[in-house]
Structure formats: structure tokens, C-alpha cells
Amino acid sequence: MATRHEIKRFRMNLADELDSAALYDTLARVEKDPARRTVFTQLANSEREHANIWLDKLRAGGVHVRTHRLSAKTHLMRALIHTLGPSFVLPALAAAETADRDKYAHQPDAAQLSADEQRHAAVMEAVVAQDMQRATSLMSTRVRRHRAPSASRPAVHAEAWHKGVASGNDLRAAVLGANDGLVSNFCLIMGVAGAGASNKAIMLTGLAGLIAGACSMALGEWLSVTNARELARTQIAKEADELEHAPDAERRELALIYEAKGIDAAEARRVAAQIMRDKQKALDTLTREELGIDPAELGGNPWSAAGVSFCLFSLGAIFPVLPFLWTHGMTAIAQCIALSAFGLAAVGVFTSLFNGRSAAFSASRQIIIGLIAAAFTFGAGHLLGVSIS
């Protein structure tokens, strides 16, 4: 007969496996690439097989198992898959699989499942890493296209997949940008409130902090992207000048780059010579291979980057200000804390998509850290307000 502790463990394992199966099913439905769709389907079936093992153990122990309800994190992840595409969540899902690959290591009745989880993590890491390697290996792509034209299609898909995987970082940056606005303005408002300022003064301080912080973030992002683009253009111009005045040296350099990637020396020299026949193609290739710069993007658009930063910071910073628009005094402060805690919890849930931890743990940690920071600034403001008055 299973003990209470074992039944609790069986339930948790069952819920984890069913949540994972639901995610892989969603990926399989949305994914357009047939090969990856097959991989996701197989992973979903494997997770369901694992779930059935824990289900059988629960039933053998006389436990009535109710219909499983997917966790909030799983619902959020599925929504992101449908709205943003599989590529946005694959890095986060791979990180979660890596974090959970040893979850059965210390469960004596799950030795085979532990090996399966290790393989699942390896598969997800390979899905992400292999495509990134393919996208950055322009030489391998060109050689495959040259030797077998029918193989060019997978290579093209691989490069597009890599761009999607890399864009998964945009979601992480968006969440952290909103978090910056929320925490900084929450602490600012708490500091002013601790000093005993009036409701109007607190509200104006919060709005000023929102505008100042959002402008600062937008300007910083604009400068960062603009400087990166200017540096890229300067490097490309130098590369073009070297290509014009020392083509032989550039051809040898390109061949050496390909040799370093593992291409046969004779083949590397042949392909380098072929690429050098077209100066524009040679410049694009050298820009990508030697400088690591995509000449079509040059680091992105500074204005769109600035606009996104401004909006995300403002989105987070508005939460602590809102209560002071309709109430005042301790009621406004209490509502400010409650709304900010809600925002912090939301940020924590989103960060759980990237850190491999549970949504509850990430949300709780975010709330605790945010409240500690706000309490510190409230105390500092109170001390300063007393001393100044």
C-alpha cells in the first residue's frame, strides 16, 4: 500500500507529465516543419506513457484520480506558442527539460523514466543547438547547395528556424523591461510615501518617474542600437576597402575561415575562389563569417527598439501609480502594494518560462524581492522625511 508521501509524489509526477504532453501536443499542432512535428509528437507520446505509469500506481493504491487541470504556466506557454510561434518558447522549454532531467534520479521506482527524461532534454537541446550551428555555418550550407541542390531546402529552413530561436530572447527582454519599470517606480513611490508626501505629490512623483524612466530606457536603447549599427557599417566599409585593394588576401582569409570550420583545405580554397567572383556576395560572406554581422539587419532598427523599450517600461511603471488616481492616504498605499505585487507575480510567472523553475516559486520570489526593496525605500523615505521636517 502506497504511503501518503508516495501518493503525493505520484500525483505531482502525473501532473508534470500531463502538462509536458500538452505542451508538446501544442508544438506539434503549430509546427510547420514535418520533421520537428514528428519529434514533438513522439515526445508528447512519451510523456503520456510516463503519465500512465503514475496513473496506474495511483489506481493500484486505491486513489481516485480526477481529470487533470493544466497549470497556469502550461496555459501561458500554450498561449505563447499559438500567438508567437514555437520558436519563441523552444529555448525556454529546452531549459525546463534540462532543469527537470534529473527529477527522477532519486526515485527508485523511476529508473527507466529518468533515462527517458535525460533523452528528452538532449533532444530539445539538440533541436535548438543544431539549428543555431547550421545557421552560423554558412559554408556548410553553401557546400550542401553546391553538391546537392535538393538539400538546399532543409538548409534554408534551418536558417529561418535559427532566426526564430534567437528571437525568443525578445520575449525575455520584454518581460525584464516591464519588470524594471514596475520595480523602480514602485520603490520610488514607496520612498516618497514613506516621507509623508501628499497624495498629489506621490502621484506626480510616480508619473514623473514613469516618464523619466521610460525616456531614459528608450534613449539608452536607441543609443545602443545606433552605435552598434554605426560600428557595423564602419567595419563593413573597412572590409569592402580590403576586398577592393587586397582581394587575394581576403580570398585566403575566407578559405582559412572555412578550413577552421572543418572543411577540406582544397575544397575551402575552391569555394572561396568561387565566392570571390562576385564582389557583393564576397562582401556579404566576409561580413557574416569574419565579422559575425548580418548586413541585412545591422543590429535592428533603433527607433523601433526605443519605442518598444518606452512602452514596456511604461507598462510596468503604471501599476504602482494607478491607485493614487482614484484614492488617497493609506488606502492608496495599500492598493499600490497590492497592484504592484500582482504585477510582480505576473513577471515571475513569465520568468518561469526561461529559468526552468515553477510558476509559483518564480512568482513568490519576485513578490518577496520586490516587497523587500519597496519596504527598504519606504523606511529610507520615512527617516529622511522625519529628519528633514
CATH assignment of the domain containing 24: 1.20.1260
C-alpha cell at 191: 520612498
Burial class, 249, CB count within 10 angstroms (exposed 0-12 / middle 13-18 / buried 19+): exposed
**Residue 116 within any structural domain of the chain:** yes
246: enclosing H helix or E strand: none
Q: What is the pLDDT of residue 157?
A: 39
Does residue 162 sit within a domain? no
- The answer as to whether 159 is a domain residue is no
Q: How many domains does the chain have?
A: 2
- The secondary element (H helix, E strand) that includes residue 290 is none
Predicted model pTM = 0.64
Helices and strands (H, E) in the chain, number of each type = 15, 0
**Amino acid in the structure at residue 347:** V
| Residues in contact with 43: Cβ distance below 8 Å, sequence separation at least 6, in sequence order | 20, 24, 120, 123
Does 360 share its domain with 211?
yes
178 and 115 fall within a common domain: no
| Inside any domain, residue 58 | yes
Same domain, residue pair 217 and 117: no
3-state secondary structure at position 340? helix
126 and 202, same domain (yes or no): no
In a domain, 300, yes or no: yes
Q: Which of 107, 134, 161 is the last residue of a domain?
A: 134
User: Residue 279 in contact with residue 142, Cβ under 8 Å?
Assistant: no
Residue 165 lies in a domain: no
Instruction: Domain of residue 219: give its range.
Output: 172-388
DSSP state of 32: -
Residues 6+ apart with CB under 8 A from 124: 90, 93, 94, 97, 98
The burial of 238, by beta-carbon neighbours within 10 Å (0-12 exposed, 13-18 middle, 19 or more buried), is given as exposed
Q: Which residues contact 6 (CB under 8 A, 6 or more apart)?
A: 61
* Cβ atoms of residues 25 and 17 within 8 Å: no
Same domain flag for 189 and 295: yes
Same domain membership, residue 202 and residue 268: yes
In this structure, is residue 167 part of a structural domain? no
pLDDT of residue 169: 52
**Tens place of pLDDT for every residue, the chain, 389 residues?**
678 888 888 898 899 999 999 999 999 999 888 888 888 899 999 999 999 999 998 888 888 888 899 988 888 889 888 887 887 778 777 777 777 777 787 787 777 787 778 887 778 777 766 555 544 443 344 434 443 333 333 333 334 334 443 444 556 677 888 999 999 999 999 999 999 899 999 999 999 999 999 999 999 889 988 888 888 888 888 888 888 878 888 788 788 877 877 788 888 888 888 888 888 888 888 777 766 777 766 667 888 888 988 999 999 999 999 999 999 999 999 999 999 999 999 998 888 877 767 788 889 999 999 999 999 999 999 898 756 64
C-alpha cell at 367: 513578490
pLDDT score for 193: 92
Is 260 found in the same domain as 130?
no
Residues 130 and 181 grouped into a single domain:
no
- Position 166 in a domain: no
Whether residue 211 sits in one domain with residue 327: yes
Instruction: Mark whether 101 and 214 lie in a shared domain.
Output: no
